[in-house]
């Protein structure tokens, strides 16, 4: 771990800027979510990046809500975004809202009008689109392009005063309709929207466009390094143009590639559809790629940080294997969770030579990966629950679990020898029978036997019942957004399986929502937010993969 990591391209830029004494060597970043949905794993990596750079260079990072579009924004989202960032372990230096700058932005626009660099246009959206031209042909000037400064000032004021209907007028920057970059062909700065805003209420009926808000907000906050995703690379000349024409603080924009993840979608618009159309139970459904969904599923914050660090930043779009995120989750949970026993698909195992009514309490290590995790007591009795799949009446050669004549160890207890099973009239197995070897007691084994299989179990008499929810990928294909047709056609119909009655060991009875643990051989689990002492509910966070194979070898 002590190995020095090479700098990523943003760190290189920042270190050069510091060395050159730019802005007194100060580093100030911002994370600018639009409060129109919950944050997802892509945002998490952006948070790690922006807050991480500020931390690394003793700088600051603002949380700025990019709330310039009244149509889609809600206060509920603001609260959840703050909660998610805090949960990830970051603290912002300032909490700011683009809407707080509406007056300043308006005055900036007036300045540009006064300089002859902006004009009010009566063209319709279709006309403006037609004026744009194409990559191979220049655009055409709007017939309103040469209005006088006085007229523009009056019209823009009237736009603000509510004299015009939505779409009737816009404010455009006067740049160059033949510019090779289409974004600089007189881009829109303001549009009319008679809509209620979540913070400014009905005070405004004109709202700035992204391009005329983002850079100006950065500049107002004196952001030194404004990091955004790659789709804004062609906006950078415009970002610079507005700042230069206004002569305000020279924030600079840098782009990195959006992080996408396999088997899911990341756009908030698509996530909103999943929620609104009931494909999932909500933004925090444990199958969602949202921070709140993944948290509910049991993903620890540390795994997000590790994941973000591992994938680093790229200059080209890429899609990251969800397996890597799961690896980070497992790695953390392996070190931090207690091992417990839970039987998901139970069948009864009767230890026929064990005294009826007797209970022995075995001591088990909570987490072999963590010396400080302590131990707990597990009751052993004559009747136990085991997994149905751990018994086979006729088994193939390599089946090292229960099959007549074979021996296995019951984890933390005894070695037992399988004698057979009992069936009902339909041929269903109702009980498996075995005999135990008293001298094989775990921790004091004098039997001299080695067995190849170890299985988990729960005492019937002491078992508690719980609901377990198993999750699979939300989509059947790696990149649902890139398939033919609608992305929702690729939803995995079996992404959630509910097991209404599983048996868990008594030590789990007081699990609290959010508690994480490993169900031996079954995966990592987390008590759901809906879990109560009367009705325990556990989400499977992630399966174990190879961990048990190793455990079995140890014997």
Q: In the structure encoding, which two tokens stand for residue 290, read together?
A: 């949202």
Decide: residue 430, CB within 10 A, 0-12 exposed, 13-18 middle, 19+ buried. Answer: exposed
If binding means CB under 6 A, how many residues of this protein chain bind ligand ATP?
15
Residue 294 engages ligand ATP in binding (rule: CB under 6 A):
no
* Secondary element (H or E) of residue 238: helix 236-246
- To the query of whether residue 34 is one of the catalytic residues in this protein, the response is yes
Q: Which among 284, 245, 288, 240 is positioned nearest to 264, based on CA atoms? A: 288
Q: Which is nearer to ligand ATP, 63 or 342 (CB)?
A: 63
Q: Which among 94, 133, 118, 132 is positioned nearest to 212, based on CA atoms? A: 118
Q: Which is nearer to ligand ATP, 66 or 326 (CB)?
A: 66
The distance from CA 418 to its chain's CA centroid, rounded to whole angstroms, is: 45
Q: Which is nearer to ligand ATP, 42 or 208 (CB)?
A: 42
43 binds, among Mg ion, ligand ATP, none (CB under 5 to 8 A by kind): ligand ATP
Among 27, 38, 42, 307, the residue binding ligand ATP under the rule CB under 6 A is: 42
Among 8, 111, 181, 267, the residue binding ligand ATP under the rule CB under 6 A is: 267
CB of 426 to ligand ATP, least distance (A): 52
Q: Which of 11, 15, 26, 34 is catalytic?
A: 34
For residue 64, what is the DSSP state?
A: E
Q: Which of 169, 258, 287, 521 is catalytic?
A: 258
CB of 232 to Mg ion, least distance (A): 9
Report the 10 Å Cβ neighbour count for 303. 23
Among 225, 259, 376, 462, the residue binding ligand ATP under the rule CB under 6 A is: 259
Residue 52 engages ligand ATP in binding (rule: CB under 6 A):
no
CB of 248 to ligand ATP, least distance (A): 21
Give the range of 39-47, 52-60, 97-105, 125-133 binding ligand ATP by CB under 6 A.
39-47
421 binds, among ligand ATP, Mg ion, none (CB under 5 to 8 A by kind): none
Query: Which residues neighbour 126 within 8 Å (Cβ) at sequence distance 6 or greater?
Result: none
CB of 257 to ligand ATP, least distance (A): 8
- To the query of whether residue 73 is one of the catalytic residues in this protein, the response is no
Question: How far apart, in whole angstroms, are the C-alpha atoms of residue 210 and residue 188?
Answer: 9
33 binds, among ligand ATP, Mg ion, none (CB under 5 to 8 A by kind): ligand ATP
Question: How far apart, in whole angstroms, are the C-alpha atoms of residue 71 and residue 340?
Answer: 49
Of how many residues is the chain composed? 555
Binding track over 222-241 against ligand ATP, x by CB under 6 A: ------xx------------
Question: How far apart, in whole angstroms, are the C-alpha atoms of residue 503 and residue 395?
Answer: 25
Give the range of 258-266, 323-331, 360-368, 545-553 binding ligand ATP by CB under 6 A.
258-266
User: How do strand 458-459 and strand 383-387 relate by DSSP bridges?
Assistant: antiparallel
Q: Which is nearer to ligand ATP, 346 or 480 (CB)?
A: 480
Question: How far apart, in whole angstroms, are the C-alpha atoms of residue 257 and residue 247?
Answer: 30
Touching ligand ATP, residues 57-86 (CB under 6 A): 66
User: How do strand 496-504 and strand 342-343 relate by DSSP bridges?
Assistant: antiparallel
228 binds, among ligand ATP, Mg ion, none (CB under 5 to 8 A by kind): ligand ATP
User: How do strand 407-410 and strand 415-423 relate by DSSP bridges?
Assistant: antiparallel
Question: How far apart, in whole angstroms, are the C-alpha atoms of residue 119 and residue 147?
Answer: 7
185 binds, among Mg ion, ligand ATP, none (CB under 5 to 8 A by kind): none
Q: Which is nearer to ligand ATP, 33 or 208 (CB)?
A: 33
Q: Which is nearer to ligand ATP, 60 or 409 (CB)?
A: 60
Binding track over 31-70 against Mg ion, x by CB under 5 A: ---x------------------------------------
Query: Which ranges in 136-188 belong to alpha helices (H)?
Result: 149-161
Alpha carbon distance, N-terminus to C-terminus of the chain: 31
C-alpha separations of 419 from 43, 348, 383, 435 in Å:
56, 14, 15, 7
Q: Which among 41, 33, 474, 34 is positioned nearest to 266, based on CA atoms? A: 41
Query: Which residues neighbour 328 within 8 Å (Cβ) at sequence distance 6 or greater?
Result: 303, 304, 306, 307, 310
CB of 516 to Mg ion, least distance (A): 32
Q: In the structure encoding, which two tokens stand for residue 502, read together?
A: 């599983």
Q: In the structure encoding, which two tokens stand for residue 269, read together?
A: 């618009």
The distance from CA 272 to its chain's CA centroid, rounded to whole angstroms, is: 15
Give the range of 26-34, 83-91, 124-132, 279-287 binding ligand ATP by CB under 6 A.
26-34
Please check whether residue 516 is in contact with residue 525, taking contact to mean a CB–CB distance below 8 angstroms. Answer: yes
Residue 293 engages ligand ATP in binding (rule: CB under 6 A):
no
Q: Which is nearer to ligand ATP, 33 or 215 (CB)?
A: 33
Q: Which is nearer to ligand ATP, 34 or 222 (CB)?
A: 34
Q: Write out the residues near ligand ATP by the rule CB under 6 A.
A: 32-34, 42-43, 45-46, 66, 228-229, 258-259, 266-268
Q: Write out the residues near Mg ion by the rule CB under 5 A.
A: 34
Catalytically active residues, by annotation? 34, 258, 268
């Amino acid at each position: 771990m002590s190995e020095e990591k090479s700098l990523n391209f943003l760190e290189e830029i920042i270190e050069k800027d510091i060395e050159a004494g730019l802005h007194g060597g100060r580093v100030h970043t911002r994370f600018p979510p639009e409060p129109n949905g919950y944050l997802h794993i892509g945002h998490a990596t952006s948070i790690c990046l922006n807050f991480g750079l500020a931390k690394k260079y003793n700088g600051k990072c603002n949380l700025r809500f990019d709330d310039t579009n009244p149509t889609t924004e809600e206060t509920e989202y603001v609260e959840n975004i703050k909660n998610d960032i805090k949960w990830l372990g970051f603290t912002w230096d300032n909490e700011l809202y683009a809407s707080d700058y509406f007056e300043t932005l308006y005055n900036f626009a007036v300045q540009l009008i006064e300089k002859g660099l902006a004009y009010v246009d009566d063209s319709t959206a279709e006309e403006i689109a037609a004026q744009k031209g194409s990559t191979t042909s220049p655009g055409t000037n709007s017939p309103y392009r040469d209005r006088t400064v006085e007229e523009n000032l009056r019209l823009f004021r009237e736009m603000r005063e509510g004299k015009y209907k939505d779409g009737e007028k816009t404010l455009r920057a006067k740049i160059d309709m033949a510019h090779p970059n289409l974004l600089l062909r007189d881009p829109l700065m303001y549009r009319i929207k008679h809509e209620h805003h979540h913070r400014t209420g009905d005070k405004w009926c004109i709202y700035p466009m992204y391009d005329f808000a983002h850079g100006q907000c950065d500049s107002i906050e004196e952001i030194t390094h404004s990091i955004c995703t790659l789709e804004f690379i062609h906006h950078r000349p415009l970002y610079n143009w507005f700042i230069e024409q206004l002569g305000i603080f020279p924030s600079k924009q840098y782009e990195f590639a959006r992080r996408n993840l396999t088997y899911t979608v990341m756009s908030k618009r698509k996530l909103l559809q999943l929620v609104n159309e009931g494909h999932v139970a909500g933004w925090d459904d444990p199958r969602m790629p949202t921070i709140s969904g993944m948290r509910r599923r049991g993903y620890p914050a540390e795994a997000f940080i590790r994941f973000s660090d591992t994938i680093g930043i790229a200059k080209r779009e890429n899609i990251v294997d969800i397996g890597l995120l799961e690896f980070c989750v497992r790695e953390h949970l392996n070190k931090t969770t207690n091992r417990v026993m839970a039987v998901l698909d139970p069948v009864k195992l009767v230890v026929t030579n064990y005294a009826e009514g007797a209970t022995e309490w075995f001591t088990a290590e909570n987490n072999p990966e963590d010396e400080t995790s302590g131990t707990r007591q597990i009751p052993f009795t004559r009747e136990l629950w085991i997994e149905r799949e751990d018994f086979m009446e006729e088994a193939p050669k390599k089946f090292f679990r229960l099959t007549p004549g074979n021996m296995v160890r019951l984890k933390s207890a005894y070695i037992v020898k399988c004698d057979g099973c009992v069936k009902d009239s339909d041929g269903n197995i109702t009980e498996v029978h075995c005999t135990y070897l008293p001298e094989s007691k775990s921790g004091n084994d004098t039997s001299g036997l080695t067995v190849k299989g170890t299985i988990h179990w729960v005492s019937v008499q002491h078992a508690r019942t719980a609901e377990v929810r198993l999750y699979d990928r939300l989509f059947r294909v790696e990149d649902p957004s890139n398939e033919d047709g609608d992305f929702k056609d690729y939803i995995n119909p079996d992404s959630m399986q509910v097991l209404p009655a599983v048996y868990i060991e008594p030590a789990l009875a007081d699990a609290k929502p959010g508690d994480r643990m490993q169900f031996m051989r079954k995966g990592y689990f987390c008590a759901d937010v809906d879990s109560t002492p009367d009705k325990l509910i556990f989400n499977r966070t992630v399966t174990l993969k190879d961990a048990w194979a190793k455990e079995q070898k140890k014997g």
